[in-house]
Structure formats: C-alpha cells, structure tokens
C-alpha cells in the first residue's frame, strides 16, 4: 500500500472490470489532500472500508445527480464519507452519516477535518436504528454499509423520505451476505429498479 503519495492505494480493488480503470487523478490541491487522507486511512487503520472503486462510484453518483442530502449508515473511519463528501462539496450538499462505535466516529470526524470536509459531513454517533428516528427532510441518496440484517429497517425508515429519482446503494450484496428480506424489498417493488454490480446494489426510486 502507498502512503503519503497523495493517492489512495489501489491494492484493495476487487472486481473484474478494474483493469480498465486508472487511479483517481486529483483536480486540485483540495482533492489532492483528500486523496492523501484516504491513502493514510488505508495504510494506518485495520477497519473494513469500501474499496476505492466503490468510493469513487459513490462520489460519481452523488455529484452527477446533484445530491443535496445523502444519508450513510456505517461511517467507520470515513473512507466512503470522504468520497461522498468530495461530490457534495461541488453540489453544495450535505452528508449525514451514522456510526455506533465511538472510537471510529471520532476517527472519522478527525479524517473529515483533515480532508477539509467538516462542513459537508455530520457524523451522528449511536445506534442508527434509534438515531435515524430524529432525521427529517428529503433524501437524494442513501448508502447502506452498517449491520446487514438492519438494511431492511433502514430501507423502511428512509424510503418515505427518498425523493422520486433518488438512489439507494447497499454494500456487501453478494449471495453470502445479502439479507433476504432486504433483497426481496428492493427487487419486487414495481416503483424500484435494482441492479447489483461488484457487490453493490443500486436501486432507483422511479416515482
Ligand atoms: C463496513 S463498516 C463501514 C465502512 C464505511 N462505510 C467506509 O467505507 O469507510 C460498517 C460500520 O457500521 C457500523 N455499524 C454497525 N451497526 C451499526 C448500527 N446499528 N448503527 C450505526 N453504525 C453501525 C460499524 O460499527 C462499522 O464501523
């Protein structure tokens, strides 16, 4: 793994199309700093975070849809949060991200600060199943990456707040880890369209 190169490491890439991709190229000093923080997190911490290509996909989705409000379940130390934050910095949007582990939440806050994204991201500490009850407003995009059996509860809570044309992305969607009630919900509702690519489900709320 690389450290201090200003580039996130690429050793965590996992899916088949990856050979065709190239590492991210920073646009400016701001992105350069964020990529360096991402690289440092990967090099120094032993937690499970999204692979770089998934993080980039999250940023691409959030920025291209002009997202103003993104909700993430499972902050960990903030890799996916930084990628989402990079997109939301451009759209003038905000990420609210939930983490039950106080050490990880603290580390994530520190990482967001280092990446210059503190004003774009709010970390809510505690059990997201409880804390989400206080969330109000319209949501453009949801990223599920916490307790897998909890995805269905998060979906049910957030779906009424998701705008038409909004997206729900969920991580660890593979035959071993996908939770059947969640899969049933995102694949049988006529108002939802879902594809699964590289362990990530992407669901569109049609209307
Ligand atoms: C796979 S990690 C998230 C990785 C993160 N999205 C990233 O890519 O940087 C899953 C996180 O979900 C958190 N988590 C699990 N259950 C939770 C709950 N009920 N409420 C909030 N966070 C939870 C765990 O503590 C863990 O840090």
pLDDT tens per residue across span 101-110: 999 999 999 9
Q: How many domains does the chain have?
A: 1
122/27 Cα distance (integer angstroms): 25
Closest approach atom of ligand 1 to CA 146: 12
pTM of the full predicted structure?
0.92
Strand partners, 97: 72, 123
ipTM over 0.90: yes
> Is 178 a domain residue?
yes
> Is 31 a domain residue?
no
Share of the chain above pLDDT 90, in %: 83
What is the rounded average pLDDT of the residues 171-191? 95
Its sign, for the CA torsion 84, 90, 93, 94, is positive
> Is 44 a domain residue?
no
The CB of 78 under 6 Å from ligand 1? The reply is: yes
> Is 7 a domain residue?
no
- pLDDT for the residue numbered 3: 34
> Is 103 a domain residue?
yes
> Is 30 a domain residue?
no
Q: Is the pLDDT of residue 8 over 50?
A: no
Give the model confidence (pLDDT) of 56-77 as tens digits: 999 999 999 999 999 999 999 9
Q: Are strands 192-197 and 162-171 parallel, antiparallel or unpaired?
A: unpaired
The CB of 82 under 6 Å from ligand 1? The reply is: no
Q: Is the pLDDT of residue 5 over 50?
A: no
- pLDDT for the residue numbered 56: 96
> Is 93 a domain residue?
yes
8/42 Cα distance (integer angstroms): 8
> Is 13 a domain residue?
no
Closest approach atom of ligand 1 to CA 129: 19
Domain hosting 149: range is 50-205
- pLDDT for the residue numbered 2: 34
Q: Is the pLDDT of residue 6 over 50?
A: no
Looking at residue 104, which CATH number applies to its domain? 3.40.50.150
Give the closest residue (by CA) to ligand 1 atom 27. 76
């Amino acid at each position: 793994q690389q450290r201090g190169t200003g580039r996130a490491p690429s050793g965590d890439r996992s899916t088949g199309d990856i050979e065709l991709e190239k590492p991210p190229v920073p646009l400016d000093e701001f992105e350069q700093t964020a990529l360096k923080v991402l690289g440092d997190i990967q090099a120094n911490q032993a937690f499970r975070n999204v692979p770089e290509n998934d993080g980039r996909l999250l940023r691409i989705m959030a920025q291209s849809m002009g997202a103003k409000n993104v909700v993430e379940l499972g902050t960990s130390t903030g890799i996916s949060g930084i990628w989402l934050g990079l997109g939301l910095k451009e759209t003038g949007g905000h990420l609210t991200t939930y983490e039950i582990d106080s050490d990880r939440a603290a580390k994530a806050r520190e990482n967001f600060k280092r990446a210059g994204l503190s004003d774009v991201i709010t970390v809510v500490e505690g059990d997201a199943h409880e804390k989400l009850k206080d969330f109000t407003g319209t949501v453009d995009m949801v990223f599920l990456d916490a307790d897998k059996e909890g995805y269905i509860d998060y979906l049910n809570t957030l779906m009424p707040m998701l705008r038409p044309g909004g997206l729900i992305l969920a991580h660890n969607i593979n035959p071993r880890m996908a939770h059947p009630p969640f899969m049933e919900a995102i694949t049988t509702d006529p108002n939802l369209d879902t594809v699964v690519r590289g362990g990530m489900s992407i669901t569109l709320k049609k209307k």
